[in-house]
A = this chain, B = another copy of it.
Amino acid sequence: MYQKKEIVNKLRSSGLRPTKQRVLIAKKLFDRDKTFHFTIETLDKKINKKGSEKISLATIYNTIEAFTNAGYLKAILTSKSKSYYDTNIKSHHHFYDEGTKELTDIDYSQIKLSKVPIPPKGKKIKNLEVVIRVQK
């Protein structure tokens, strides 16, 4: 469990001024047992519900970006809001260059998995993709 003090220190340690809004958002995000997956939309709903003090959407965006830069959050499946398509329809994998935002194919045979988890009950694996993010 996170005490307010801990959160304040955590924020300070990354050069983030511990404002009321940031502390509140941090509490919502990190004061829980299981890990939490969210979009800005779902987080906004959780924060700005009935009776509670409101935090503006812009601040939620700013804060999540700051937390991500500070390494407190991980962005997943962010294609920076643009969809990518590939003429290669065989099952295959990709290098994604963080710098140029370019994709390169990795042939299916270039990656071998020796252990794969069982899918959630009632669900079937439809496809498995590896994305290797690379940087200079």
Could you list which residues of chain A lie within 8 angstroms of chain B, going by C-beta atoms?
29-30, 32, 35-41, 64, 68, 71-79, 81-89, 94-98, 102-106, 110-117, 119-120, 122-136
Question: Which residues on B sit within 8 Å (CB–CB) of A40?
Answer: 82-83
Q: A110-B117, A111-B113 are in contact. Are A84 and B39 (CB under 8 A)?
A: yes
Decide if A134 touches B123 in the complex (CB within 8 Å). Answer: yes
Decide if B38 touches A84 in the complex (CB within 8 Å). Answer: yes
Extra contacts, 20 of them, besides A37-B87, A124-B135 (Cβ < 8 A), are: A37-B104, A39-B83, A73-B87, A74-B88, A76-B86, A77-B79, A77-B96, A77-B103, A78-B83, A95-B117, A97-B120, A98-B126, A113-B114, A113-B130, A114-B114, A123-B135, A125-B132, A126-B133, A127-B133, A128-B130
